[in-house]
Amino acid sequence: MRQLIVLLSGFVFAIGLGISEMTRPEKVLGFLDVFGNWDPSLAFVMGGAIVVYAGALQLAKRREKPSFGVRFRIPTRSDITPSLIIGAAIFGVGWGLAGFCPGPALVAASATVTPALFFVPSLIAGIFLHRFIFDRK
């Protein structure tokens, strides 16, 4: 049952990305092209997601623990570190180059969108590069 809910969550996430066309890099680049032919759609994607998730947070607040699992694992850190800002900036440059962030890239690659098929192996390589440099245990 737990696995089924997790699978469903991934599935619904992908359908949401598809309906909003975040799976198409031109849609994302169009949003980021603030000084060109700006397409504000992505702001509405964020808006829709944030409103629904804010409701879920209210629901979670009234519960002691999630339906499965022993406790909520919600990040509590509030320290602003150089790695947070530098990491976000590096991510932003990559996002602006190809118009893919991790979720849409995985969905588009599954649907055999050509640039996503190049992007995903490289995305995973980037994750391993970070692990190799910072997480050698």
Partner 1 sequence: MEPLTEFTPIAATIGGALIGLAAALMLIFEGRIAGISGILSGVFKRRTDEDSPPAWQATFIGGLVLGGLVLMVANPPVVTTGLTLSPLLVIAAGLLVGFGTRLGNGCTSGHGVCGIPRLSIRSILATLTFMGAAAATVYLTNHVFAFGGLS
Amino acid symbol at 64: E
Residue 62 binds partner 1, judged by CB under 8 A? no
Binding to partner 1 by residue 61, rule CB under 8 A? no
Q: What 3-state DSSP class applies to 13?
A: helix
Q: The dihedral of CA 92, 118, 29, 10: what is its sign?
A: negative
- Is there a contact between 119 and 99 (Cβ–Cβ < 8 Å)? no
User: Tokens in use for 67?
Assistant: 């339906």
Specify the amino acid at residue 2: R
80 binds partner 1 (CB under 8 A): yes
136 binds partner 1 (CB under 8 A): no
Residue 131 CB, nearest distance to partner 1 (Å)? Answer: 7
Distance from C-alpha of 6 to C-alpha of 11, rounded to nearest angstrom: 9
Residue whose tokens read 């992908």: 14
In the region spanning residues 91 to 130, those forming contacts with partner 1, defined by CB under 8 A, are 91-103, 105-115, 118-130
Pure H helices in 20-81: 25-32, 41-61
Determine if 137 is a binding residue for partner 1 (CB under 8 A).
Answer: no
Contacting partner 1 within 21-60 (CB under 8 A): 21-27, 29-30, 32-37, 39-57, 59-60
Number of residues this chain uses to bind partner 1 (CB under 8 A): 117
- The yes or no reply on residue 77 touching partner 1 (CB under 8 A) is yes
Minimum distance of partner 1 from residue 125's CB (angstroms) = 6
Is position 73 an interface residue for partner 1 (rule: CB under 8 A)?
Answer: yes
Question: Is 3 one of the binding residues for partner 1 (CB under 8 A)?
Answer: yes
